[in-house]
Amino acid sequence: MRAVARFLLVAVLSGAAACGGSSPSSPTQTTTTTVPIPDGPKLSCPAPQSAPSALGTPIAVLYGTPITANGSPPVTTTCTPASGSVFNVGVSTVTCTATDALQRTDSCSFAVTVTAPPMIAVTRLMAFGDSITKGEDGTSLTASAVSRYTPSQILPTPQTYPGVLQTLLSTRYTAQMPTLDNQGCSGEGVTGDDSFCGYSSALARFNSFTSTRVYGAVLLMEGTNDLYQQKDSSNIGRTVANLAQMVINARSNGARVFLASVPPIDPNGSRGRMYGNQLVPLLNSGIQNVAAGQGATFVDVNGAFNNNLALLGPDGLHPSPAGYTLIANTFFTAIKATLETPGSGPVVPTLVQRLMGPLRRTR
């Protein structure tokens, strides 16, 4: 009986094992799931920013939002100084930081540059010369006109070279309000003793302006009328000598002088054939020598024309509006190179300063 019982027990246990049962001594197995942690935040800053300040004073600057990637949400971003803050003239650094839910951070920075307007060393300027400075375009003259004293049509002020130049100066030097007075006189010659515009001569008229009025700079372009019906160079020496005296007188009164060559003359124009166009290069050579010898800035107006006679009006003597614009830009280039100083702001002209500016002596 004992043997039978033992057989039955072994059979039962063996059957249980065959049916998938487990031994009471087998350990219990458990499954663990791992949740990955995202990488920390990554921050990309906006590109460097630049903004102009019209008066050289601090201004508000807006910039874009930094771009974030990765991180455990929520991810917050802060920038210091914030967009829309007021920045001083110069270069400032903005630092941005991204922080995620696990308090991990990433930072970046970029520059904000506030530029002050350029400044000019003088704020009151005078354009002095003959009918070309005044702004005649020659359209009222006919082929039968024989006198250089016959006035031609005057262009609207914005189309004259001083008018165009005034716009260029006002647009660039926004904090100072520079003024340019047009003192052109039709028919005037450097060597003539004629009574034009209330003076006995061009030299007398020039001296009256530079000695009694307040100009920090003088733009001098004259001599075309001195070539009137010239057959030789006999008058060139006197023209150049008088221009030299003008430069000396202006500089002795503290003014900077920009001395320009005269424009070309088209001998096929209704009036141009009365002028010694073949003497223009000789006169301009003398003018350039005066500038070099007397400390004036030479402005090569004739060179800027590059012999493009299409820039002259129908009389072959006075420039067209496009020609006057070219003259203005040529003077403007010389003024920027000579008188401009970098903006260092702030420049805050008061109302009184703005009203009195044209009356003050500014050099």
Q: Give pLDDT tens digits for 284-293.
A: 999 999 999 9
**Is the predicted pLDDT of residue 305 greater than 70, yes or no?**
yes
What does the pLDDT average to over 41-65?
A: 94
What per-residue confidence (pLDDT) applies to 155? Answer: 92
CA separation for the pair 208, 128 (Å, rounded): 12
What per-residue confidence (pLDDT) applies to 136? Answer: 93
What per-residue confidence (pLDDT) applies to 338? Answer: 97
C-beta of residue 259 within 8 angstroms of C-beta of residue 291: yes
Which residues of the chain does CATH 2.60.40.10 include?
42-115
What per-residue confidence (pLDDT) applies to 112? Answer: 97
Which residues of the chain does CATH 3.40.50.1110 include?
119-359
CATH superfamily of 119-359: SGNH hydrolase (3.40.50.1110)
Match 């065959």 to its residue by tokens. Answer: 18
> Which residues on adjacent β-strands are paired with residue 43?
68
Query: pLDDT band for position 43 (50/70/90)?
Result: very high
What does the pLDDT average to over 140-163?
A: 71
Query: pLDDT band for position 360 (50/70/90)?
Result: very low
What per-residue confidence (pLDDT) applies to 271? Answer: 78
CATH superfamily of 42-115: Immunoglobulins (2.60.40.10)
Q: Provide the greatest CA pair distance for the chain.
A: 162
What per-residue confidence (pLDDT) applies to 356? Answer: 38
Render pLDDT for 169-203 as a digit per residue (tens, 0 to 9): 999 998 898 999 999 999 899 987 666 788 888 99
Structure-token pair, residue 61: 């600057």
C-beta of residue 340 within 8 angstroms of C-beta of residue 120: yes
CA separation for the pair 171, 331 (Å, rounded): 15
**Is the predicted pLDDT of residue 52 greater than 80, yes or no?**
yes
